[in-house]
Structure formats: C-alpha cells, structure tokens
Structure 1
Amino acid sequence: MVNITMIGTGGNVPSHKRFCSSMFINYKGKKILIDCGEGTQVSMKTLGCGFKDIDLILITHLHGDHINGLLGLLSTMGNAEKRNILTIVGPVGIKKAISAMMVLWEGLPYRLRIIENPGGPFSIDEEIFNEIEISTIALKHSTECLGYSLYFKRNRSFDVNKALENSVPKYLWKNLQSGKTFYIDDIKYDPEMVLGSSRKGIKVSFITDTRPISSIPDFIRESDLFVCEAMYGDEADISKAVKNKHMLFREAATLAKNGNVKKLLLTHFSPSIEKPEDFIDNAKNIFANTTVAYDGIRISIPYPED
C-alpha cells in the first residue's frame, strides 16, 4: 500500500487556508517528499509526518512556492538527529540552488546527494529504492520544470506448489520470496524455486506548473493516482493560464481522461480561489473520479487485486 498526504496545496503564496506545494509519500517505511514550498515543515509537524526519516526529496522546479521551505526543513531534519544520506532530485539548477542555501548552514550532520535531471530516465543507486521506479518528464513552464512518476513494484506471487515440488524448506519461503538466495547442505535455494507470476504494482504521477502538453498522457498512463495542478477553476481565466503557463480544472481533467488514470487529485490552487470545490464540476464533467485536494487530505492506495 502507498500512503499519500498532501502537505500543501496552494500556488504562488501561502494563505491562511493553504500552505505552498508539497506532497508526502510513505511506502513500507520509505518516506518521499515531492516539493517543499513555504510552510512544509509546519504542516508536516501538524499532520504527524516525521522529519528524520525522509529518504528522498523530489523538486519539480526552483520557483519559491516549491522550494522555499527546503532550507528550514533540512536544518530541522538535522536537529531531529537524521544521520543517514538524503537524496534530492531536481531540474538543472538544483545543485546551484542547494549550494546557495548552504551558505546559511554551519554544516548538516548528514550527507546530501543531489541529482540534476533534465527530464528523462534516471536511477538512484541505493538499495532502499530498489522497489521504486522513478521517471521524469520535462514540462512547459516559465523555468525548467519536471513532472514525476513513481512506480511501486510488487513482489511476484508465491507459488506453494512450486515450492513443494522443489522441496524447499518452509522456513526459507518468506526470504526466498523477497529475493534472497541460500546454500544449505550444498543445495542452492533461489527465488525462482518458489516464485509464480508477476503482479501489477502501484503508479503515482505528479504534474504541476505547466501547460498541458502532448507528452503528458503517455507519461501518466494507467496511474492509480494522478496528482495535477489546477491553478485556475473558471474558464474565463484561460488567458491567465496561458500567460503564466498553468492549467485550468478542465485541462487537468482532460489529461486524466486521455491518460486513462484511475483517480485525479487536483492541487496547486491560485490564492484567488477561496473554495476550489466550487469549480469541481468543470473537471468532473470530463473525468468523473476527480477530487479537490486540501492541506492534510490523505489517500491510501492498495495493491490491485490479483
């Protein structure tokens, strides 16, 4: 199961109702943060999301409403006795931005690994991320901007008959299913002796600060959850959306429909929108399974049925 918490759902500036953009993912104890706008650590503390154990931070772009909370958060993580490595991924320019922030630090008690990505496939060479495939896409904004797709892989099914036919001791079954190999009394026991068919995992996609572009539907295709910006709700604001390179509710819903996703979660609302839910029909008329996010909303995504 993948657990999602929306830490901040506002665009541009924080308000009394919404902090700036941030989403928290908890998967088997692995903790991932996407974006870190102003107010992130305050909201995380209120919502009970732990600072210390964040393993990975994915930054979409370097506008303040997506990164201004990072300086304080990294400092707080050190004060919370974080000591293991933290990986930060972002667009071209993220290394320079982090370097500038470090002028204000006396020194973090943990190591940072920073990965710049122009939009495309990449890998994180660390064991804790073996179960998660992360992809990026270059978006169309006023600065370098990335969209993210995370695929949470699932172990192959366990085949009891296969295990029995191969005379595998029962006390090894669980470890073999998790991918380990054993040598006992000169006999090799490997995962293939107990594993059955492959099983579908969970896909979560996150797209914000962009105009709708033709490459997005394939990138988000078959997502179990598609989190997408919806800066403007009113159709009359299309000129603002085009000028500022953002999207309307309708445009986000159209991407969800074309990408054949299961659920759409709208976020990153303009400060001018007091009640985003007032515009929900502009999205639902195109993609019915649409929800308007708010700070603190939690969504749990179970593995699909076998």
Structure 2
Amino acid sequence: MIDYVFLGTGGGMPMTFRALSSLMLMYNGRKILIDCGEGTQVQMRKYHTGFRDVDIILVTHTHGDHIFGIPGLLSTMGNSDRTEKVYIVGPKGIKPVISGLLYSLKYLPFEVETIEVEEGFYLKQGKDSLEITEEKTELWVEPFNLKHRIECIGFNIELARKPKFDPVKAKTLPIPVVYWKHLQNGEIVDFEGRTYYPEQVLGEPRKGIKVTFIGDTGYFNELSDHAKGADLIVCEGTYGDDEDIDKAKKNRHMTFREAARVAKDAEADDLIITHFSPSMGNPVEYRSNATSVFNKSFVAYDGLKGTINFKEE
C-alpha cells in the first residue's frame, strides 16, 4: 500500500489558510516528497509526518512555489540526526538551481545528490533509506514531460504486486520444498544441475498501484496516456471556474474541468485536484465542474490523508 498526505495545495504564493504545493507519499516507513514549496517543513510538523525519513524529493519544475522549502527542510533534517543520502530529482536544468538554493548549507551531515532525470528509475529499500538503483525492484518512478512556461515534468509512481504462489505448479518441480520460498521471493534456484525460475511457482501477474502526479501544465491530449489506468491521479487545477479557461491557457495551467477530462480519458479510479490559485478562496465551490465530467473527482486541502491499497481479486 501507499499512504499520502497533502502538505500544501496552493500555487503562486503562500496564504494564511493554504500552504504551497507539496505531496508526501509513504511506503514501508520511508517517504517521498513531490515538490517542496515554502513552509513545507511547517506543514510536516503540523501534520506529524516527521522529517528524518524523507529520502527523495521529486521536483516538477523550478518555480519558487515548488522549491523554496527545500533548504529549510534539509537543514531541519540535518538537525534530526539524519546521515543517509537525500536525492533531489527533477527536470533538465535543475542542478544549478538546487546548487544555488543549497549554497549556505555547507554543514549538512548527509550527501545531497541532484539528478536531472529523463528516464524512469527503480527504488530499493536499503537498511535505513530508499535508494535509486539499476536493479529491478517493486517500486518504479517514471517522469513525463508537461507543457508549462518552463521545463516541467510529471511523475508516475508504480508499486508492483507479486503474483500469488501456486502450490500446484510448485509440486510439479523435482526440487525440495525448502526451495519454494526462495522461488516465491523472486530468487533463481540451482539444484542438481538444473536452474529453476520464480515464474515456475507463481500465478498470473497482478495489478499493482499507480499514482500519477501532474504538476503545472496546460491541458494536452497526451496527458491521459501518461496517466492510463492510474489508481489515483493528483492533478493541478489552478482555476476552478470554467470562465477562466483563457487565463489557464495563457498561463499554461488547467481548470478543474480539464483535470477531470484527463482522469476520465485515462480511465483512472480517482482524481484529486490541487495547486489552487491564490484568488480561489474555496475550491470546493467549483468541484461540480469536475464531477460533471468525472464523478470521482475530489478537491484537495492541506492535511488531506489517504491510503491506496492493492485491489481485491
């Protein structure tokens, strides 16, 4: 399962009633942060998420409302006895920006590695952190290009689900029962001159969990292709009112209705809209603009929490 909490749901500037964009995903006790607007660490304290276990910060783009919280957060993490590496992953051009932001943080007790990502990558559970690896694991992160005013990317975070163990298939193999568990755990077994593979004791593939995060972007048809079959789409909806469509196009943002169209075309399970304009006092007032297109459309708010479980079969 994957847990989530919306730390901030605003765009542009922080408001007294709404913090800037940041979403935390939690998996096996480790944390992935998507964007880190100014004041994110305050929200983490407010919603009791903790600081120390944030291993990766995925950055959609380098506008200030998505990154100005990074230096303060890393400083606090350094004061929380963290020593493991922290990854900052974002689009082309992010390295010099992050380097500038972190110029004053010469005292951090852990390494910060900034990666300009163009292809997907796996994450593996280390002893005390998540680590980027070339080894195929159950957790996959894939970036995709968005259409904003600067270089900007979205992310698919996918958690694979192991097939069920099939004892009928296992019993057909001429190996001792003690090796079944190794095969079930994905290990290759050599026994008496023959090699046995996990698929020889496992059933059909099972659907995992897919979370699609669509940051700042204007609407374009291919968005739904990236989000196809997502269990949850988190999508920007800077403007709730349909009458703001021209403003959305000009500023390369989306309306609630456009976000809902993405979810409908992607055949997603749920949509949560976030990143609201400072001019939008109560985003819930515009929810019907989304639900009229995609019924399972919801409006985020600071502190919104949830869990995505594997589907029952």
TM over 0.5: yes
Q: Is the 8 A contact 2:264 2:294 kept in 1?
A: yes
Structure 1 residues 96-136: Cα deviation after superposition (integer angstroms, max 9, x where no partner): 0121123211232111222103xx42325756562112111
Q: Is the 8 A contact 2:238 2:274 kept in 1?
A: yes
62-71 vs 79-88, which deviates more?
A: 79-88
Q: Is the 8 A contact 2:122 2:139 kept in 1?
A: no
Q: Secondary structure at the match of 1:296?
A: coil
Give, as a single letter, the amino acid of the residue that structure 1 aligns with 2:120: F
How far does residue 85 in structure 1 lie from its aligned partner after superposition?
1.6
Structure 1 residues 122-171: Cα deviation after superposition (integer angstroms, max 9, x where no partner): 32575656211211111111111111111111112111223344366666
Q: Secondary structure at the match of 2:31?
A: strand
| C-alpha separation in 1, matches of 2:110 and 2:180 | 37
Aligned partner of 1:290 in structure 2 is: 297
* Structure 1 residues 103 and 239, CA gap change in structure 2 (3 angstroms): same
How far does residue 278 in structure 1 lie from its aligned partner after superposition?
0.4
Q: Is the 8 A contact 1:30 1:55 kept in 2?
A: yes
Match among 194, 198, 205 for residue 191 of structure 1: 198
| C-alpha separation in 2, matches of 1:22 and 1:125 | 20
2:93 is the counterpart of 1:96: no
Aligned partner of 2:309 in structure 1 is: 302
* Structure 1 residues 266 and 110, CA gap change in structure 2 (3 angstroms): same
2:206 is the counterpart of 1:208: no
Aligned partner of 1:123 in structure 2 is: 121
| C-alpha separation in 2, matches of 1:58 and 1:18 | 21
Give, as a single letter, the amino acid of the residue that structure 2 aligns with 1:21: S
Name the structure where strand makes up a greater proportion of residues: 2
Give, as a single letter, the amino acid of the residue that structure 2 aligns with 1:33: L
How far does residue 192 in structure 1 lie from its aligned partner after superposition?
3.8
Structure 2 counterparts to residues 272-287 of structure 1, below 5 A: 272-287=279-294
| C-alpha separation in 2, matches of 1:171 and 1:19 | 54
Give, as a single letter, the amino acid of the residue that structure 1 aligns with 2:29: G
* Structure 1 residues 256 and 125, CA gap change in structure 2 (3 angstroms): closer
User: Across the two proteins, how many residue pairs are aligned to each other?
Assistant: 304
Structure 2 counterparts to residues 75-224 of structure 1, below 5 A: 75-117=75-117, 120-124=118-122, 128=130, 130-166=137-173, 173-181=180-188, 191-224=198-231
28-37 vs 281-290, which deviates more?
A: 28-37
Aligned partner of 1:34 in structure 2 is: 34
TM-score, scaled relative to structure 1: 0.92
| C-alpha separation in 2, matches of 1:4 and 1:174 | 32
Q: Is the 8 A contact 1:137 1:148 kept in 2?
A: yes
How far does residue 6 in structure 1 lie from its aligned partner after superposition?
0.8
Unaligned runs of 5+ in 1: none
Aligned partner of 1:2 in structure 2 is: 2
2:251 is the counterpart of 1:253: no
**What percentage of residue pairs aligned between the two structures are identical?**
44
| C-alpha separation in 2, matches of 1:45 and 1:135 | 29
| C-alpha separation in 1, matches of 2:181 and 2:8 | 39
| C-alpha separation in 2, matches of 1:259 and 1:115 | 29
Aligned partner of 2:59 in structure 1 is: 59
Q: Secondary structure at the match of 1:201?
A: strand
TM-score, scaled relative to structure 2: 0.90
Q: Is the 8 A contact 1:168 1:193 kept in 2?
A: no
Structure 1 residues 209-250: Cα deviation after superposition (integer angstroms, max 9, x where no partner): 110012211001110000001111112212221221111111
| C-alpha separation in 2, matches of 1:27 and 1:94 | 26
Unaligned runs of 5+ in 2: none
Q: Secondary structure at the match of 2:12?
A: coil
Match among 244, 247, 250 for residue 251 of structure 2: 244
